[in-house]
Structure 1
Amino acid sequence: MTAVMQGVRILEVAEHTFVPAASALLSDWGADVIKIEHVERGDAMRALASSGVAVVPKDVHVLLEHSNRGKRSLGLDLTSDAGRDVLYKLAATCDVFLTNKLPSVRTKLHVDVEDIRAHNPNIIYVRGTGQGERGPDADRGSYDSLAFWARAGVAVGVMRPEYGHVPVPPGPGFGDSIGAMTIAGGIMGALFHRERTGEATEVDVSLMATGMWAMGQALALSLLLDIPWTPPPVDAPRSNPLTGNYQTRDGRWLSFTCLQAGRYWPPMCEVIGRPELATDPRFADHAALMANSREAIAILETTFAQHPLAEWRERLASFIGQWTVVQDTLEAAADPQAVANGYVQDCTTAAGIPFRLPAAPVQYDGRPSPAGRAPLFNEHGDEILAELGLDTDAVLDLKIRGVVA
């Protein structure tokens, strides 16, 4: 694996998942990430006891590990002049300053772009926000369940009238993790631009913008047609019988997206043991198949319901069309493709407890990036301060005054 970010130093003043997960990715790719944490409690994520749908185990805080792997931690009081002086000294050594603090908080703490660039004019300044840096809600906090999921149209995109409620995100940090990848890409682009031009830029990524981009094609159609995007009803007719989901005898689901139905219908007929349907006048070519899709769908529904998933896996193994099994998270992690490509990485906590994390989704030179572990709170405090040239007496004085943890 090529550590493409090796030699890049990032200073992070951020909490929770959205922004910290961005520098976690960059750490996987070789960057040195210094995480500044609240001098007493650390990152608020450390105290999170539940994801909203599951209890977070105390011995392996995988939510914290996901967004803080490979970093170095320093507990620092940014409300004090001495604490900010340490931050500014660190900023002078870094390539990137990364934060999710609201505008009013950045002003109060004196960590806005002008404050940081007064000590390093060449630093790339990166802000991750809920709704964006401008507008009436710029100074309002948010979460991915709000700005990404609810506000950007994602929730409505999966909502159905029969639910009777607004669907929740599919997992903790769903929009956060997508947004983090966006921030990481923005940082890499800014570093490339600085390398080419010498110009240090500001980078802004919001959860709302990321959600709207994720819904980009639906949003564009909505704007073109002036109709809000909503998914089709469950019983809406499908013109293509080889797109959609079919349930097996044991209650599992097979998902198909064979857009060229006429091409894939004959081999599908072989798979289901009904070769005569390939020449049936109702389905003999693409146009006929589309015109008689309801009948074809009914045949497939009945046939797939007659056998369990294991049998359909065998039958479909040689099918040339596009299909997959609808899997849960444990099945995805054990999927032969996930295993072969290293999509899940083995890790250990600071206490030596083993656990596993999803790998960074971008690979270099054909190998996955090894995922590090999250730091203990202030684990690297003395080390980081020593790198700034502070001797033992100076560090002890800062600790006594509560400036550093």
Structure 2
Amino acid sequence: MLDRAPTPPLTGITVLEIGAFMAAPFATMQLADLGATVLKIELPGSGDPVRATGPFVEGHSSPFARLNRNKRSVALDLKSDAGREAVLRLAASADVLVENLRPGAMRKLRLDYDSVRAIAPRLVYASASGWGQDGPLAALPGLDIMAQARGGLMSITGTPDGEPTKIGVPICDLVCALYVALAVTAALRERDRTGQGQYVDVSLYEAGVSFAVWEAGKYFATGEVGRPMGSAHQSTAPYQAVRTVDGHVTLGAVTPKTWEGLCEVLGLGALRADPRYADAFTRHAHRGALIAEIEDVTRGWTSADLVRALDEAGVPCAPIADYAEVFTDDHLHRRGYFWDAPHPVLGPVRQLGSPMRFSRTPAVRDAAGPLLGEGTTDALRAVGYSDSEIHQLAAQGTAALGDAPPDPSGTSEREDPA
């Protein structure tokens, strides 16, 4: 494990998260990993709906403990005047606010950008939503699968003539969150120059469309519309999964050197002289015949033997691992990717590491997702609330102080997320 740096990159930055489920929480998790203090604003009693998402360990959500690591939970009822006032006081001393409620919800709470900017002009305020803050789709609910569908990703995912297939992870949610985190760090850098905050609008829809690099290259050049191709590449070959005696192996032999190496390993030297296979683009045009010839050979290999031979020949390849294999992978363990975060009830909670590796200021490895409201008292004290005022808020139900478990039903009056 890397040594904990005393000053991670975003040390001193305070982030308020008014989020639920995925986009805002995953974005602020990135910022927390980089050292920002993230105050996760949750509804007293139930909190983020992910708290009610299983599987559960000792009554606590396993996904929540991982998605919300390195954060502090501040439980406030934003629909009450006192709760709104508390959030505004927190915002006045914060650097960033990230939210992913449906467009218009923050305005109803009188916590929209214009309202907050009036008392916090240096604040970077980022909204993640399904379709963006304006335009004809803005008011519609927008979940990841809808963004994958309308954004074209489902039209190119799966096999030809197969059923509509979404990408296996909520990719639009996740990449929207990464764009939010990138935009926030850029806006903070710009604030260093000008002293002014600004508003950031990122949508799941546009985040998904931004992936269409190859598809845009084809369509805007030739008018060709991308279609599902299984595991095959859009324009070069061989670059896909091929069958073996016990499964599949992915390979990519698209340069002259790797193409020659593949032919040598498989004993298909004659293919190098075939004009249909002269280069990767030409091979793609004849991919059906090419893959049939390759699989005639690879079906006689085990996956392990084929990977070993191709590795030795310098041909890019990999087996198709399931997540039991991924989460026990020797390479990842040797690089210290996985780590255990402490939790007051669950004990050590295994975490997926940050892919960002810094030579001097490594990502923070602090605590698992917080108990509901456990950071409320400290956060309110820091913005001038007395202990008697904090306990009064708790007595009114406006705040929760971390001394009661969340409602296992997960019911919440918070506006729907993006």
Please state which band the TM-score falls in when normalised by the shorter chain.
0.7 to 0.9
- The range that moved more, 59-68 or 209-218, is 59-68
Per-residue deviation, 1:141? 2.3
Q: In the alignment, which of 386, 391, 396 is matched to residue 386 of structure 2?
A: 391
Equivalent runs, 1:2-401 vs 2, <5 Å? 3-49=8-54, 59=59, 61-147=61-147, 149-163=148-162, 165-171=163-169, 173-232=170-229, 240=237, 242-251=238-247, 253-260=248-255, 262-272=256-266, 274=267, 277-278=268-269, 282-283=273-274, 287=278, 297-365=291-359, 369-370=364-365, 372-401=367-396
1:248 is aligned with what amino acid?
Answer: T
Report the 3-state secondary structure (helix = DSSP H, G, I; strand = E; otherwise coil) of the residue aligned with 1:162.
Answer: coil
CA distance in 2, matches of 1:304, 1:104: 56
Q: 1:89 & 1:185 partners in 2: Cα distance?
A: 26
Deviates more, 1:393-402 or 1:205-214: 393-402
Q: Pick closer, same or farther for the CA change 1:258–1:74 going to 2, 3 Å.
A: same
Q: TM-score with structure 2 length normalisation?
A: 0.84
Query: Secondary structure of 1:3's partner?
Result: coil
Provide, for residues 61-101 of structure 1, a one-character-per-residue CA deviation record: whole Å limited to 9, x for no partner. Answer: 23223331111111111111111111111011100111112
How high is the sequence identity, in percent, across the aligned residues? Answer: 26
Cα offsets for 1:133-153 (capped at 9, x unmatched): 111221222211112x11111
C-alpha spacing 1:246/1:229, structure 2 compared with 1 (3 Å): closer
Q: Partners of 2:199 and 2:302 in 1: how far apart? A: 54
Following superposition, the deviation at residue 325 of structure 1 comes to 1.6
Aligned mates of 2:63, 2:88 — CA distance in 1: 29
Give the Cα separation in 2 of the matches to 1:222 and 1:78.
46
- Change in CA separation of 1:363 and 1:224 when aligned onto 2, cut-off 3 Å: same
Q: CA RMSD in A?
A: 2.9
By how many angstroms is 1:156 displaced? 0.8
| CA-to-aligned-CA distance 1:352-375 (integer Å, 9 cap, x gap) | 433322222222117555363111
In structure 1, distance between residues paired with 2:210 and 2:336: 28
- Contact 1:238 / 1:293 at 8 angstroms: preserved in 2? no
Instruction: Identify which range, 136-145 or 344-353, moves more after superposition.
Output: 344-353
Which deviates further from its counterpart, 388-397 or 112-121?
388-397
In structure 2, runs of 5+ residues without a counterpart are 401-418
Secondary structure (helix, strand or coil) at the match of 2:306 reads helix
Aligned residues of 1:357 and 1:371 also touching (Cα < 8 A) = no
Are residues 24 and 281 of structure 1, via their aligned partners in 2, closer, same or farther at CA, if it must alter by over 3 Å? closer
User: SS where residue 23 of structure 2 aligns?
Assistant: coil
SS in 2 for 1:137: coil
Deviation at 1:389, TM superposition (A): 2.5
Contact 1:238-1:294 at 8 Å conserved across structures: no
Tell me, yes or no, if the aligned pair for 1:343 and 1:368 is still in contact at 8 Å. Answer: no
Give the AA of the match of 2:165. P
Q: Give the CA deviation at 1:237.
A: 12
Q: 1:387 to 1:333 in 2, by over 3 A?
A: same
Q: CA separation of 1:281/1:32 partners in 2, compared to 1, >3 Å: closer, same or farther?
A: closer
- Higher mean C-alpha displacement, 138-147 vs 12-21: 138-147
Unaligned runs of 5+ in 1: 50-54
Q: Provide Cα deviations, 1:160-195, integer angstroms capped at 9, x if missing partner.
A: 4532x3213303x33222221111101000001111
Q: C-alpha displacement at 1:293, in angstroms?
A: 6.9
Task: Give, in whole Å, the separation in 2 of the partners of 1:293 and 1:101.
Answer: 46
Q: Give the aligned partner of residue 397 of structure 2.
A: 402
- Are the equivalent residues in 1 in contact too, given 2:77–2:398 (CA < 8 A)? yes
| 1:364 counterpart SS class | coil
Q: Is contact 2:156-2:226 (8 Å) kept? A: yes
3-state DSSP of counterpart to 1:214: coil
| CA–CA separation in structure 2 for the residues paired with 1:83 and 1:236 | 52
Which amino acid in 2 is paired with 1:364?
A: F
Amino acid of the structure 1 residue aligned with 2:295: E
Structure 2 CA distance, aligned partners of 1:281 and 1:354? 54
Q: Match for 1:185: what amino acid?
A: L
The letter for the 2-side match of 1:120 is A
Give distance in 2, aligned partners of 1:73 and 1:278: 62
Matched residue count: 391
Deviations 1:76-131 (A, max 9, x none): 11111111111111011100111112232112110011211122111111111110
Contact 1:21 1:66 in 2 (8 A): no
Q: Which sits farther off after the overlay, 394-403 or 88-97?
A: 394-403
SS at match of 2:16: strand
Cα pair 1:359 1:371 within 8 Å, conserved: no
Distance 1:141 1:39 in 2: 24
Residue type of the partner of 2:176? G
> Does the residue aligned with 1:228 lie in a helix, a strand or coil?
coil
Contact 2:43 2:76 in 1 (8 A): yes
Answer with 307-316 or 55-64: which moved more: 55-64
1:52 corresponds to which residue? none
Q: Relative to structure 1, is the Cα distance of residues 393 and 150 closer, same or farther in structure 2, using a 3 angstrom cutoff? A: same
